[in-house]
């Protein structure tokens, strides 16, 4: 179903936006076409019950690991045997280069060591005021929006998180030059698609025209990033993310300008787009669930009142956190994770050879009928501590898992909670009636054609 309107099921819960599901398993040509169009729309109904399955696509052997034990094996217990797949790297490298999302082995470990201090708890708390200030600027903008006007909340959240990552990275507000980086990220998401050659496992030398086009998207923004790096190295500056990327840990070689550029592009893509999508989907879900919205507002009124939200409030907003966690369960920004085996292995009854591909698909795992009661419903109470403790650890992986878990997970959760709290304290958002909402799997999970909503002051 691709419908955003509240079609009520027998037990009173609105039917939420889904891509159309194919009635039967797709043949190779249809699967190739559907994957390019919307990867989360390729899964048949039975996939949400399966624990493991496999596909053969000419030269590619693909195993879908859809049980917590299998996920744990690939992402934690035997993580050294798996790297990001060649297909995944081909989608990311033209724009993001050799950053934390695309490297592995010693290079990845060095990069992780360089970036880790930037995402320590103290550092995140120091960024919190900038997060709240950016959200308050959006509050001022929304206060001027007439009640009958429509805003695209997906676009608004993208602008908000771009402002936050700009402040955190460069200590500057979004100006036309910084906006170029955000525009490049958005354009890259829309442009880059797996080609038939990628999906079928054609060799590296096989021509892929889309890759050359994708590389050009970052041309102008790269010039901006290079200039900012040169100026900072020459003149110094604030203790922000850029400063931390430029300061190599003791004993490491100096960081090259290209590596810093690649990490900046990676953080902008991973940190800005994913949180923007989380917030957009959260406002969509709250618009469909008035009782949960009231409960959220009651918590905000009780804890925060009329003052601005502060970093120390995050620990006192458990329901706000649960709303965001449930939003990431239903609409995981990182909807598919792809790994490639470096050597033979076994998952369940399936033998993997060197080069076999393993798909871990939060879109499936987070809606698995054996793991979740009424999986297609929005129920934030799933994330009460006792319910979390009763579930397998690897049933819910919005930020990945194991050594490669997202380095910015705590930053993203803090940002999402502070922004949701700041905006929901002042406004209610309602979906424009008749809107057709459809999740589409690109690099992240976005609402196709945005989320047109109306802003109402509380």
Q: Look at residue 416 and tell me whether its pLDDT is greater than 50.
A: yes
pLDDT of residue 205: 64
pLDDT of residue 9: 41
The DSSP code sequence of 193-205 is: ---HHHHHT--TT
Burial of 52 (0-12, 13-18, 19+ CB in 10 A): middle
Nearby residues of 154 by Cβ (< 8 Å), 6 or more positions away:
276, 277, 280, 446, 447, 450, 451
Please name which of 385, 375, 371 lies closest in space to residue 319, comparing C-alpha atoms: 385
Tell me how far apart the alpha carbons of residues 365 and 351 are, in angstroms, rounded to a whole number: 21
> Hey, which residues does 53 pair with through a beta bridge?
64
Residue boundaries of the structural domains of the chain = 7-457
- The lowest-confidence range among 115-124, 360-369, 401-410 is 115-124
The DSSP code sequence of 323-337 is: HHHHHHHHS-SS--E
Work out the pLDDT band at 250, boundaries 50, 70, 90.
Answer: low
Burial of 26 (0-12, 13-18, 19+ CB in 10 A): middle
Please name which of 425, 434, 424, 441 lies closest in space to residue 153, comparing C-alpha atoms: 424
Q: Say if CB 341 and CB 359 are below 8 A apart.
A: no
Residue 65: strand, helix, or coil: strand
Written as six digits, the tokens of 237 are 């500056």
Q: Parallel, antiparallel, or unpaired: how do β-strands 357-360 and 337-341 relate? A: antiparallel
Nearby residues of 149 by Cβ (< 8 Å), 6 or more positions away:
454, 455
Q: Look at residue 252 and tell me whether its pLDDT is greater than 90.
A: no
pLDDT of residue 185: 83
Residue 216: strand, helix, or coil: helix
Q: Look at residue 213 and tell me whether its pLDDT is greater than 80.
A: no
Written as six digits, the tokens of 8 are 């009520």
State the chain's mean pLDDT as an integer.
Answer: 90
Q: Look at residue 225 and tell me whether its pLDDT is greater than 80.
A: yes
Tell me how far apart the alpha carbons of residues 355 and 341 are, in angstroms, rounded to a whole number: 5
Residue 133: strand, helix, or coil: helix
What is the pTM assigned to this prediction? 0.92
What is the CA angle 381-387-388, rounded to 5? 105
The phi and psi torsions of 18 (rounded to 5 degrees) equal -135, 155
Please name which of 385, 369, 387 lies closest in space to residue 377, comparing C-alpha atoms: 369
pLDDT of residue 175: 81
Work out the pLDDT band at 1, boundaries 50, 70, 90.
Answer: very low
pLDDT of residue 19: 94
Burial of 204 (0-12, 13-18, 19+ CB in 10 A): exposed
Rounded to the nearest 10 degrees, what angle do helices 153-170 and 176-191 cross at?
120
Written as six digits, the tokens of 245 are 């990327």
pLDDT of residue 191: 77
> Hey, which residues does 52 pair with through a beta bridge?
65
Work out the pLDDT band at 279, boundaries 50, 70, 90.
Answer: very high
Work out the pLDDT band at 201, boundaries 50, 70, 90.
Answer: low
Please name which of 130, 223, 133 lies closest in space to residue 180, comparing C-alpha atoms: 223
The DSSP code sequence of 246-272 is: HSPPTTSPPPPHHHHHHHHHHHIIIII
- The lowest-confidence range among 9-23, 70-84, 224-238 is 9-23
Q: Look at residue 24 and tell me whether its pLDDT is greater than 70.
A: yes
Share of the chain above pLDDT 70, in %: 93
Written as six digits, the tokens of 184 are 């490049």
Q: What is the CATH number of domain 7-457?
A: 1.10.630.10
Instruction: Please give the sequence-ordered ranges of beta strands (E in DSSP) within 85-163, or none if there are none.
Output: 151-152
135-173 pLDDT, tens digit per residue, is: 999 999 999 999 899 999 999 999 999 999 999 999 988
In a 13 Å sphere around the CA of 211, the CA atoms on its Cβ side amount to 20
């Amino acid at each position: 179903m691709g419908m955003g309107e509240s079609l009520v099921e027998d037990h009173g819960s609105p039917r939420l936006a889904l891509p159309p599901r194919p009635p039967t398993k797709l043949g190779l040509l249809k699967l190739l076409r559907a994957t390019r169009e919307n990867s989360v729309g390729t899964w048949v109904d039975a996939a949400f019950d399966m624990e493991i399955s496999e596909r053969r696509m000419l030269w590619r052997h693909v195993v879908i690991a859809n049980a917590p034990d299998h996920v744990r094996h690939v992402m934690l217990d035997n993580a050294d045997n798996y790297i990001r797949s060649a297909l995944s790297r081909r989608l990311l490298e033209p724009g993001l280069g050799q950053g934390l999302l695309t490297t592995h082995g010693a290079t990845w470990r060095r990069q992780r060591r360089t970036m880790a201090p930037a995402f320590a708890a103290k550092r995140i708390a120091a960024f919190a005021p900038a997060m709240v200030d950016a959200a308050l600027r959006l509050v001022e903008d929304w206060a001027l929006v007439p009640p009958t006007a429509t805003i695209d909340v997906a676009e608004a959240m993208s602008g908000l998180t771009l402002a936050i990552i700009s402040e955190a990275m460069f200590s500057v507000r979004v100006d036309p030059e910084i906006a170029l980086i955000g525009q490049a990220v958005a354009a890259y998401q829309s442009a880059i698609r797996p080609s038939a050659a990628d999906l079928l496992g054609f060799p590296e030398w096989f021509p892929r025209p889309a890759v050359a086009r994708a590389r050009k998207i970052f041309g102008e923004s790269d010039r901006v990033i290079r200039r900012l790096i040169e100026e900072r190295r020459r003149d110094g500056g604030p203790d922000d993310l850029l400063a931390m990327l430029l300061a190599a840990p003791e004993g490491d070689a100096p960081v090259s300008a290209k590596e810093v550029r690649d990490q900046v592009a990676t953080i902008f893509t991973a940190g800005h787009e994913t949180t923007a999508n989380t917030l957009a989907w959260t406002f969509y879900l709250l618009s469909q669930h008035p009782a949960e919205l009231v409960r959220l507002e009651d918590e905000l009124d009780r804890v925060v009142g009329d003052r601005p939200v502060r970093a120390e409030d995050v620990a006192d907003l458990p329901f706000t956190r649960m709303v965001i966690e449930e939003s990431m369960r239903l609409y995981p920004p990182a909807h598919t994770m792809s790994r490639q085996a470096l050597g033979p292995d076994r998952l369940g009854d399936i033998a993997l050879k060197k080069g076999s591909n393993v798909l871990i698909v939060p879109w499936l795992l987070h809606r698995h009928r054996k793991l979740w009661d009424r999986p297609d419903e929005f129920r934030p109470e799933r994330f009460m501590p006792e319910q979390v403790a009763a579930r397998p650890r690897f049933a819910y992986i919005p930020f990945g898992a194991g050594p490669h878990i997202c380095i910015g997970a705590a930053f993203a959760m803090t940002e999402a909670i502070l922004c949701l709290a700041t905006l929901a304290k002042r406004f209610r958002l309602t979906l424009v009636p008749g809107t057709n909402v459809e999740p589409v799997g690109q690099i992240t999970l976005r609402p196709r054609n945005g989320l047109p909503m109306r802003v109402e002051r509380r």
